[in-house]
Amino acid sequence: MTNINFQSEFQKIFTDLRKEMYEKYDRHVSLQDLFSDRWETAKFYNFGEGTSCYNNVLIIGDVKVGKNTWIGPNVILDGSGGLEVGDHCSISAGVQIYSHDTVQQSLSLGEDSAQKMKTSIGNGVYIGPNSIIEKGVSIGDQSVIGAMSFVNTNISKGKKFYGIPAKEFKNP
């Protein structure tokens, strides 16, 4: 097959897949997500039944995810120190969940190692777009983290936190 034939065939496949995605889900996704299946990706990583995970998610270390959880595009799941995510969670686009940092390693000019702590997300948790969860944080069941929040403290069940750093939102 010549290079021109390959490009032509690839373009046709890409166009067909893009059209199918738009017609079926009313969305455009990256090229890699056109060629992969979100549920198969989650299954490959032994995530729970019914969980979907975009192909462009960065998954590091020991990450456990429960059933029926949606993991959006451009997410970082850092399980270097252990990461557990429960059932029925929504992890929005651009979320970063960490279980390690290299602050002391950098400040000590490499004499200290990376700091690692288990991070856990309960069942039924919603994490808004572009939020960051710091290492060692535990978020209780049925909690909400607002968009673009930085969470550096544990959150109890059923709480709503927003902002930088995230603070509890209380209805008036």
CATH code, 136: 2.160.10.10
Same domain for 50 and 12, yes or no, is: no
- What is the number of domains present in the chain? 2
Q: Is 104 found in the same domain as 58?
A: yes
Residue 4: band (very low, low, confident or very high) from pLDDT cuts 50, 70, 90? confident
pLDDT at residue 121 is higher than 70: yes
Tell me the average pLDDT across 132-152. 98
- For residue 94, what pLDDT is reported? 98
Q: Which is it for strands 52-53 and 126-127: parallel, antiparallel or unpaired?
A: unpaired
Q: Is 85's pLDDT higher than 60?
A: yes
Mean local confidence (pLDDT), 129-152: 98
Same domain, 31 and 13: yes
- Let me know whether 6 and 70 are in one domain: no
Do 20 and 103 share a domain, yes or no? Answer: no
Q: Is the confidence at residue 154, as pLDDT, over 80?
A: yes
Same-domain pairing of 111 and 77: yes
Q: Which domain holds residue 24?
A: 1-35
Taking the C-alpha atoms of residue 106 and residue 6, their distance in angstroms, rounded to an integer, is 47
What CA–CA distance (Å, rounded) separates 155 from 131? 14
**Residues 99, 42 within the same domain:** yes
> If you average pLDDT over residues 65-94, what whole number do you get?
98
Check residue 83 and report its DSSP letter: E
Which pLDDT value is given to residue 29? Answer: 86
The verdict on 11 and 68 lying in the same domain is no
Q: Is a pLDDT exceeding 80 seen at residue 1?
A: no
Are residues 84 and 127 part of one domain?
Answer: yes
Say if residue 45's pLDDT is above 80.
Answer: yes
Average pLDDT of the chain to the nearest whole number: 95
Q: Are strands 115-116 and 70-71 parallel, antiparallel or unpaired?
A: unpaired
Tokens 């893009």 belong to residue: 18
DSSP assigned state of 107? H
Residue 3 predicted with pLDDT over 80: no
Q: Is the pLDDT of residue 77 over 60?
A: yes
**73 and 116 fall within a common domain:** yes
pLDDT of residue 172: 66
Q: In the 8-state DSSP scheme, what is residue 155?
A: B
Q: How far is CA 107 from the centre of its chain?
A: 28
Give the residue-averaged pLDDT of 22-40.
89
> Do 31 and 92 share a structural domain?
no
Same domain, 73 and 151: yes
